Structure 1
């Protein structure tokens, strides 16, 4: 089974990533090292390297490998970066991030998901990732500012709280657009205290970003 998974992972890297323009060596190496099957329940592990999102607990999803790699590439991450991830989910993207940057803080609004992600990340030895429970739309100001922020759920706009927690020169990548339709990946770069540049990139589809500065407009308890 391990050999089968290794073969499937290599095929994913060739067909889903390199063939579609993801060529940065640090990202490719990270995707090669992280066992996506470890972040799925047993019945779905055979599909771990399929080019699709898959269901996890609490009616959430694990993003397809290409989207995880694409968001990292768009964020232009450096090896010494401190990154905030909004929406821990299964913990898979946090593990990939942990292979690419120095420090990862990840925040999840659902305690059930945060606990299972923490257990997976700990068992795999990712000691440079800290898992937090809270409203991701408000970020994690006590741990900021951040070199990059990656948001793995779609909101109507980029939350102002997250913009404020970027370092000058920092990058934020997030799907933005209507809740029930496809969205577009937004890259926002902070150039000064009040100066930001925002561009809209690939079309994507993500679960909604819930919270005080996301869909619903109130902090969920």
Structure 2
């Protein structure tokens, strides 16, 4: 067994716990809001959007995007004892796991599949072709970058995490901005607007944290 095996085992247990949390959050979303027949305007948060809508596409793609942010946050919490970085990672885990649970819950509520049959980002008017390196959408880290983050410790892990998460957040904020302006349901519009504000705020925070460590974004 390698030296990394205990850490990987620990992370699997934590990620399993997060998966249970996401299922619970999705069930809560189902209990809080019940679907109704679509209104002629399609603007009500209770209206079920179409399978090819901005609302459904954003929910699917952002759920995947958030999943990786949560994974990277768990990884860095194992790689550093720095309280500021660990606190940021904890906030990202809680916020994005919660949002992911809501989006998957809405898809379930709307009777729509949780994964798209075609390539991602189509709802934004273009498609992103995954390159096979693990980066499924803009801003997502590659498999090699995730491996480097897992292997890194201390300040090296902190800097790599902050850089990767800054790129991740910038792309996520762009996606959320597009959804906020084009989604037809109140649920998606409101969530996307909150994502833009939250991720832009964290981008500024991470820039300061990188500066404190003598590193560039």
Normalising by structure 1, we get a TM-score of 0.32
Q: Which has the higher contact order (CA 8 A, sep 6+)?
A: 2
> Greater strand share, 1 or 2?
1
Larger radius of gyration between Structure 1 and Structure 2: 2
